[in-house]
Amino acid sequence: MPDPILAPFPATRLRRLRRTPALRALTTETNLTAGNLIWPIFVTEIAGGEGEIPSMPGVQRLTLDGAKRAAETAMRLNIPALCIFPHSDPDQKTEGCERAWDPENIGNRAIRAIKEVAPDLAVMTDIALDPYNANGHDGLVRDGVILNDETVEALVRMALVQAEAGADILGPSDMMDGRIGALRGALESHGRKDVAILSYAAKYASGFYGPFRDAVGASGRLVGDKKTYQMNPANREEALRCVARDLAEGADMVMVKPGMPYLDICREVKDRFAAPTYAYQVSGEYAMLEGAIRNGWLGRGVVLESLIAFRRAGCDGILTYYAPEIAEMLA
């Protein structure tokens, strides 16, 4: 980028272009629209499991009918995509994670339900075993070790069933090595070549995921931690290597997760690869903002400000629980 040419003060007065709303609008560098938003929703199969999530005030677990209503809301507000996360029956979680590729699990039923009422809405799914894993991990576990290659085989089975149910975008969030190439190869060979992959390419082992685990019923189940497969928060170059690998293996889009604490990584990914780049404003980020807003410590305008920061950092889109609120505001 060339250095700006500025006449000395007072010929240059940068405040001139901030003087009125019209001038500020004409010189806005970063724009946010509903088309930049993906709305994550939680869908429950547990009787009485619907309702507000205490650690995420304002966010609900939904029934299948609630998921349909969310899809209709998204269409009305021009939000292009929903991302489904399952709240599954704890009594059916196993160490083999067999329900992950059951066509009748709650995630696959939600895909079909949403497509019934909003066939043009893009449906994104989560590809990881933790919603169905008795020990809370994203992969299969043997003797305390998360198995990479065996997990990838399971993820392929999971992905093919989701594609069959009608998913438009698969979101591998597991951080196993080699899973993007395996998923892309399986989709091609099974006639699902048009299904997109939005890879969680740089997913950090973060403390900001706690409320999400409450939402999907995984809190208290996790044995150990996820540091052997999710990334060290101190590492930047490794994130770029992960993104490069996933793009080379066939990812259509890439994601950085969490969002606001890692905006430097978002910017580098976009600048380095010029690929469609996304970030997830995760549950802990949401809980911090919403908690401060509800306590009167911050005004609600910080929500819009936070999402503009994602766009300024190079993100083409943001997964955010604020999607319907922001889309209403923008409308």
Q: Which residues are catalytic?
A: 203, 257
Q: Which residue has the tokens 């992959």?
A: 197
Q: Is residue 218 within 8 Å of residue 209, measured between CB atoms?
A: no
Please state, in angstroms and rounded to a whole number, the distance separating the CA atoms of residues 98 and 89.
13
Please state, in angstroms and rounded to a whole number, the distance separating the CA atoms of residues 133 and 135.
5
The gap from C-alpha 133 to its chain's centroid, in whole angstroms, comes to: 20
Q: Give CA angle at 271 (193, 33), nearest 5°.
A: 70
Please state, in angstroms and rounded to a whole number, the distance separating the CA atoms of residues 121 and 167.
10
Q: Give CA angle at 294 (291, 299), nearest 5°.
A: 100
Q: Is residue 307 within 8 Å of residue 325, measured between CB atoms?
A: no
- Give strand pairing partners of 236: none
Q: Where are the beta strands (DSSP E) in the chain?
A: 37-44, 51-53, 56-62, 81-87, 122-127, 141-142, 145-146, 169-172, 196-203, 253-257, 277-280, 317-319
Between the alpha carbon of residue 134 and those of residues 106, 180, 192, 220, 317, the distances in Å are 17, 25, 30, 11, 33
Helix (H, G, I), strand (E, B) or coil at 36: helix
